[in-house]
């Protein structure tokens, strides 16, 4: 339960700061990346995956942001509200999931799920998720409720006979 509460606290603090403070683009990751990892950890608390799967999950939770590296190396960084790179899309999960299925790799399977947790968070926080030429967004409340359910489910499951 402590890990679940720590994850919720990480997400809540990150999102409070990101919502209230206008940060430079490079500084956003200081708050957003731990929240992505915390979201993935909430999933891990509910899935009995192998160590390789769990490690893949955490790597996958940050993998979609690899497309930020070239942007960070430019003289001018993106501004708040700029569209995400075209590679930052739900379709990026397909080759990872396919590779996991072909190779039966638990690490790649975890990475695919981790990428899904990343995109679930992106749908509710920040600029949304680019999908077929437009940005798809959902209200923050469903994401917050999902995180709370993921945090409480393991404790509830253990309390039942």
Give per-residue pLDDT as tens, 132-143: 777 788 999 999
CA dist 160 and 110 (Å) reads 28
- pLDDT tens for each residue of the chain, 161 residues long: 889 999 999 999 999 999 999 888 788 889 999 999 999 999 999 998 899 999 999 999 999 988 878 777 877 776 666 667 667 788 899 999 999 999 999 999 999 999 999 999 999 987 778 777 777 889 999 999 999 999 998 766 665 55
Q: How far apart are the first and last CA of the chain?
A: 18
CA dist 83 and 55 (Å) reads 30
HSE-up of residue 60 (Cα within 13 Å, Cβ side): 33
Q: What is the model's pLDDT at position 72?
A: 76
Instruction: State residue 129 phi and psi, 5-degree precision.
Output: -130, 120
Contact 123, 138 (CB under 8 A): yes
Q: What is the pTM of this model?
A: 0.89
66: DSSP letter: G
């Amino acid at each position: 339960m402590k890990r679940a509460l720590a994850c919720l606290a990480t997400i809540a603090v990150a999102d409070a700061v990101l919502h209230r403070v206008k940060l430079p683009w490079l500084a956003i990751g200081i708050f957003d990346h731990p929240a992505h990892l915390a979201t993935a950890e909430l999933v891990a608390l509910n899935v009995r995956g192998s160590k390789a799967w769990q490690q893949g999950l955490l790597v996958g939770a940050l993998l979609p942001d690899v497309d930020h590296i070239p942007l960070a190396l430019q003289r001018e960084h993106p501004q708040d509200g700029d569209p995400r790179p075209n590679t930052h899309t739900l379709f990026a999960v397909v080759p990872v999931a396919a590779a996991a299925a072909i190779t039966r790799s638990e690490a790649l399977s975890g990475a695919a799920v981790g990428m899904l947790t990343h995109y679930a968070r992106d749908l509710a926080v920040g600029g949304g998720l680019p999908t077929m030429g437009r940005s798809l967004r959902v209200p923050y409340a469903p994401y917050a409720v999902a995180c709370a359910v993921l945090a409480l489910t393991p404790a509830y499951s253990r309390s039942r006979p």
